Amino acid sequence: MVVLAMRNLFRNTRRTLITVLAITFGLAMVHLTITLQTGSYADLIRTGVSSMAGHVVVQAKGYQEEKDGDLVLTRTAEISQRLAKAFPEGTIAPRLVLGGLITSPRGSVGAAVSGIDGAAEAKLQEIDEHVVQGTWLTGDARGIVIGRDMADALQVGFGDKVVYMGQHGGATEVSSRLFRVIGIFRMGNADLDGFVAFVDLPAAQEAFGQPDVANQVTVHLPDPNRSPAAAAEARTLLADIDGIEVLDWKQALPELFALIEVDKTSGDVMLFLLGAIVAMGALNTVLMAALERTREFGVMLALGLRPQQLARLILTEGLLLGLMGAGLGLVVGTALSWPLVHYGLDYSAYMGDTYETAGVVLSSVIKGRFNPLRMTTYTIAATFMTAAAAIYPAVQVARLQPVEAMRHT
Amino acid sequence: MSIVHVSDLHREYQQGAVTVKALRGVDLTIEPGEFTALMGPSGSGKTTLLNMIGALDRPTSGKLLVDGKDLASLSSSQLSDLRLHRLGFIFQSYNLIPVLSALENAEFVLQLQGMARDERRKRVRETLAQVGLAGMEDRRPGELSGGQQQRVAVARAIAGKPALVLADEPTANLDSATAQGLIELMEKLNHEHGITFLFATHDPRVMEAAHRVVRMVDGKVAEDLRK
Amino acid sequence: MSFLLTVAWRNLWRHKRRSLITATAMAVGVALCMATLAFNDGMFEAIFDVMIEQQLGHVQVHHPDYPKKRVMNDTLPAEILTRIDGEPGTVAAAPRLQGFALLGSETKSSGALLLGVDPEREPKVTPIGKRVVEGTFLPPGETGGIVLGLRLADELGVGLGDSVVAVTQASDGSLGNALYTVTGIVKTGSAQIDRSGAFVSVADLQDLLVLPDQLHNITILTDDATDIAPYAERLRADIASDTVEVQTWWEASPQSAQMMSMRDFSSVIVLGIVFGAAGLGILNTMMMSVFERTRELGVLKALGLRPTRMVGLILVESVLLASLAVSIGLALGGGLDAFLVLRGIDLSASAKEGISFSGVVLDPVIKGVVRWEGVAQVVGAVFFVSLASSLWPAIRAARLDPVESLRAE
């Protein structure tokens, strides 16, 4: 049966090849898209989670809802220690973000000043690698690391003094604190380079006016998939502390995961329709191949072949067509994806060195990542879609009346 | 002036490693108004000669003038135009365009010639009436009998008022009565309208009706009989 | 020609099923592309609205160093505005002054970007007036009012009629402060302005910053949005100097221009993938159509149809097929587009605040935007692909040897 089906397909080599090529092309595009999607999602999640949240996020109750900088945890050190003990493999990063004004003798800039654990963040993010002058945070209580554009706006350089002014924690007065620029970074993103500064957590706590506070204490685990379980663990661990909420990564960054979900869904719809277009091409080929053999089928029926056997022959032809196309598609798609995985797709001509999405700053060189599960799924789906396209012609052929069929020209 | 002038015409085909000599020096002249049958056994070169004269195929060597033009000097577009304006074809298997009605099949040659719609329609209706198909103008080939289809083909061939109509076994697919009718039709067209016909045929009835019988053997003219 | 048209049209219906399947595949492609483009364009329009319409206008005038360094003293004299008003082609020009300040309510404060605008001129140049979600934009002729970004107002915990204090370092080094009353709240879609932007009248800001009759920027709307360069050229000749720079919007923000080319780039990718697949389907159909009619085409040729007209016949057939596909596709795609434009895709369940991309906060209900250029591109692509993929079959048909093809079955 398979041999017969194969011979039939290659009676009209050109037509079969064009159809196989269409399936190959379609599927290769699918694989390419999947690789790119998988890579950019992975990048988005990794960067987003490490810079804006964590796999376990402990914060003051209501912070997620209100995003009010004055909602702070009050026992940061204790929470951090207990989390460090419970997750020895993880990195603990407390964060306190202050919104205020940074001024120099020659200018001022509204800024978000992040009070962080410099050593911990260096492990999680790449900002320390983007310091172009001076150093990353060293634990110096007066040190501040600012972006290149902010330094330009303030007309300050390495070693210059700046003043932070802000009003926090229900204080009625504006407080100010003097810092010295110990480092300047350049991420290539206007928001980060122009409006973000980093100081050590204790300095931020002093500027805030209360000791031992933080907006969040985040835990970063080597295995991201442990996030929900780890959050549950942390919830029990910290049950005795009032006024806190413990979130896993998806709860902490709903926007990010929503974006990915939407992108994935719209991608799937598009891929499905692309599959449908290719399948219709296959339907045409199998249908035509069947119709032009009507007379021959009549003869076969007259010779005693059963209609189901003819139908099975047509289905086998469809399946073979699908197998060839999908197999080749897998090969071509993998080959085309290879450079994406290794070198990435460079969008920097369109977006600058980095771009922002859902609050996450990403490199404009988007690297792909192979996703064997989805690639296999689509390969199998494409094969069956093509085989399914042969159902209609198969049914048509099974209904043939031998005498009429033989009269057919 | 003769419509066809052929001298020392040769045509060779390459069939695998073998060279087939289909025509080996044919000399033939056809004058306006003639009704000529080209006879001969299969493989004698009748169809090849007809294809040459019909500007469908090019000779290997020799001289070939149709309607006063040396075919060797014409481009393929010019050959198309020659066929369109000066030649009519009738085939053994009718070869009508299945998606066009009887009227449209006969009409489109005129349309390609660029004739205005009203004049064209009038001419085609007259022509279809001449071949005995009045009232069947809107039928598609599939709705006509073999004889009727061949009459449509005749109408198509003569509608453009060609200098020469070439017919390759026009009666071979028809039953005897229908074939007789068709031959009489073409005789009448030749007689009354002076249309020149050249047949390649095996049919003795055609030979009977012909004024001139050219017998071919082995790619050469063996006998040329005028009645 | 009408003969070619008749024959081509009837030929298509000879294989009703095949033509319909092919046309449907193309139509699905058309609909898919239209929907994807509408969705993309919806997002890009939102981005352009923020990046270009709200911020850049057509032409920007500023001190050459100001955009890069944002130094407060790099200003323009206000009288330039009169000269710009007098320039032929100027529809409206809006002056702006900006500076960072610490904005404080009774209990909270936040670093803010104060935007000094002319309450009368600004709405004529940018759509800011339409972005007011509460209250009104600054009333013309009055001073002392302030319009806050939505999230800034939230953060300060203030509403209409409340007072806010602005504290900043003025250009002379002194610490200036001023009291403003909130007249309106805006939601612009720009992450930066919604989070930290505050509009005050330019006169008020000149007082606060001690920059009398000074401006940082003039944004101009010209009478011909499609041909801005000549206007900019004329204006440059008239007013440019060492301290006055004239730039078109794309010169002022290459990033926005890149964004625009990215939109076009992504359309091309979508079109390429979809019609690559669909084109192979057409190729197959037209090939079959030519090969199964070898004899018939041979007759046409024998009867004197010129080779060029033969090519024409096949191409007309494929154009008709494409027209059929386009009409079905426009109907399908129009339906999808209508849904996207009227209802949009609602992400508010998972991302209440919307999704941000490149500094622009997209509404959580993403609505499609239909650009006629986009639809025209899709339709053009169908015809192009149809013609391109039937060219080979058409040439085959034109090259048929009449003697050979008459001999075919």
For C286-308, what is each residue's pLDDT tens digit? Answer: 888 888 888 888 888 888 888 88
Average pLDDT over residues B84-95: 88
Which one of C2, C295, C402 has the shortest CB-CB distance to B56?
C402
- Name which of C184, C217, C170 is nearest C74 in CA terms: C217
Domain B33-53+76-226: which topology?
Rossmann fold (3.40.50)
Q: C-contacting residues of B 141-200, CB under 8 Å?
A: 156
Amino acid C351: pLDDT: 67
Question: Residue ranges of chain A with pLDDT lower than 50?
Answer: none
Judge: B80–C402 Cβ closer than 8 Å, yes or no.
no
**CB < 8 Å to C100, chain A:** 101, 107-110
As to burial, measured by CB atoms within 10 angstroms (0-12 exposed, 13-18 middle, 19+ buried), residue A145 is buried
Touching check for C130 and chain B: CB below 8 Å?
no
- For A83, A86, A92, A220, A226, the CA distances from A89, given in Å and listed in that order, are 11, 9, 10, 9, 12
End-to-end CA distance of chain B: 21
How close is the nearest chain A Cα to the Cα of C15, in Å? 9
* Cα–Cα distance, C147 to C122 (Å, whole number): 13
Touching check for A295 and chain C: CB below 8 Å?
no
Instruction: Report the residue of chain B nearest C12, measured CA to CA.
Output: B99
**CB < 8 Å to C295, chain B:** 95
Amino acid C19: pLDDT: 87
Is it the case that residue C409 has pLDDT exceeding 60?
A: no
Q: Among A295-299, C218-222, C377-381, C384-388, where is mean pLDDT lowest?
A: A295-299
Partners of residue A220 on adjacent β-strands: A91
Judge: C287–A167 Cβ closer than 8 Å, yes or no.
no
Judge: B51–C403 Cβ closer than 8 Å, yes or no.
yes
Judge: C28–A283 Cβ closer than 8 Å, yes or no.
no
Touching check for C353 and chain A: CB below 8 Å?
yes
Touching check for A122 and chain C: CB below 8 Å?
no
**CB < 8 Å to B111, chain C:** 2-3
Q: A-contacting residues of C 138-157, CB under 8 Å?
A: 155
How close is the nearest chain B Cα to the Cα of C8, in Å? 9
How close is the nearest chain A Cα to the Cα of C156, in Å? 9
Q: What is the CA radius of gyration of chain B?
A: 17
Is it the case that residue B56 has pLDDT exceeding 90?
A: no
Contacts of C230 (CB under 8 A, 6+ apart): none
- Tally A–C CB contacts below 8 A: 200
**CB < 8 Å to C357, chain A:** 355-358
Instruction: Report the residue of chain C nearest A265, measured CA to CA.
Output: C345
**CB < 8 Å to C276, chain A:** 25, 29
* Structure token digits, residue B120: 């064209």
Beta strands per DSSP E along C242-387? 245-248, 345-346, 355-357, 360-362, 365-366
Side chain identity at residue C149, one-letter code: G
Is it the case that residue C1 has pLDDT exceeding 70?
A: no
User: Which of A9, A15, A31, A165 to substitute to test the interface with C, most C CBs within 10 Å?
Assistant: A165
Judge: C70–A18 Cβ closer than 8 Å, yes or no.
no
Judge: C281–A258 Cβ closer than 8 Å, yes or no.
no
User: Which of A97, A277, A362 to substitute to test the interface with C, most C CBs within 10 Å?
Assistant: A277
pLDDT tens-digit profile of A267-317? 888 888 888 888 888 888 888 888 888 888 887 777 777 888 888 888 888
Which one of C18, C277, C350 has the shortest CB-CB distance to A254?
C350
In percent, the amount of chain B with pLDDT more than 70 equals 100
In percent, the amount of chain C with pLDDT more than 70 equals 98
Touching check for C234 and chain B: CB below 8 Å?
no
Higher pLDDT, C289 or B120: B120
Judge: A258–C70 Cβ closer than 8 Å, yes or no.
no
Amino acid C350: pLDDT: 66
Contacts of C240 (CB under 8 A, 6+ apart): C246
The answer to ipTM > 0.85 is no
**Taking the domains of chain B in order of start, what are their residue ranges?**
33-53+76-226
Is it the case that residue B36 has pLDDT exceeding 80?
A: yes
Touching check for A64 and chain C: CB below 8 Å?
no
Exposure on the CB side of residue C237, measured as CA atoms within 13 A: 7
- Dihedral in degrees, nearest 10, Cα atoms C233, C237, C243, C247: 0
With tokens 């084109």, the residue in question is C279
- Name which of A192, A249, A245, A194 is nearest A221 in CA terms: A249
Instruction: Report the residue of chain C nearest B98, measured CA to CA.
Output: C296
Amino acid B114: pLDDT: 85
Touching check for C108 and chain A: CB below 8 Å?
yes
Amino acid A13: pLDDT: 82
Touching check for B77 and chain C: CB below 8 Å?
yes
- The overall average pLDDT reported for chain C is 86
- For A116, A186, B43, C149, C258, the CA distances from A189, given in Å and listed in that order, are 20, 8, 84, 22, 15
Region for residue B35 given its phi and psi (left: phi exceeds 0; alpha: psi -120 to 50; beta: otherwise): beta
Average pLDDT over residues B8-33: 90
pLDDT tens-digit profile of C311-369? 888 899 889 989 999 999 999 999 999 998 998 888 776 666 677 777 777 777 888 88
Q: C-contacting residues of A 335-354, CB under 8 Å?
A: 347, 349-352
Instruction: Report the residue of chain C nearest B87, measured CA to CA.
Output: C303
For residue A116, give the H/E element and its range.
Answer: strand A107-116
- Tally B–C CB contacts below 8 A: 62
Q: How confident is the model at residue C408 (pLDDT cuts 50, 70, 90)?
A: low
SS3 C5: helix
Judge: A68–C168 Cβ closer than 8 Å, yes or no.
no
Instruction: State the CB neighbour count (10 A cutoff) for residue B161.
Output: 14
Touching check for A17 and chain C: CB below 8 Å?
no
**CB < 8 Å to A356, chain C:** 356-359
Is it the case that residue C278 has pLDDT exceeding 90?
A: no
For residue A290, give the H/E element and its range.
Answer: helix A254-291
Amino acid A183: pLDDT: 94
Which one of C112, C283, C353 has the shortest CB-CB distance to A18?
C283
Touching check for C408 and chain B: CB below 8 Å?
no
Judge: B81–C304 Cβ closer than 8 Å, yes or no.
yes
Instruction: Report the residue of chain C nearest A69, measured CA to CA.
Output: C155
Q: C295-323 burial, b if ≥16 CB within 10 A, otherwise e? A: bbbbbbbbbbbbbebbbbbbbbbbbbbbe
Q: C-contacting residues of A 275-294, CB under 8 Å?
A: 276-278, 280-281, 283-285, 287-288, 292
Using DSSP, how many helices (H) and how many strands (E) does chain A show?
17, 14
Contact A183, A133 (CB under 8 A): yes
How close is the nearest chain A Cα to the Cα of C100, in Å? 5
Contact C105, C156 (CB under 8 A): yes
Beta strands per DSSP E along C36-174? 59-62, 76-77, 90-104, 109-117, 132-135, 145-149, 163-169
* Cα–Cα distance, B163 to B142 (Å, whole number): 30
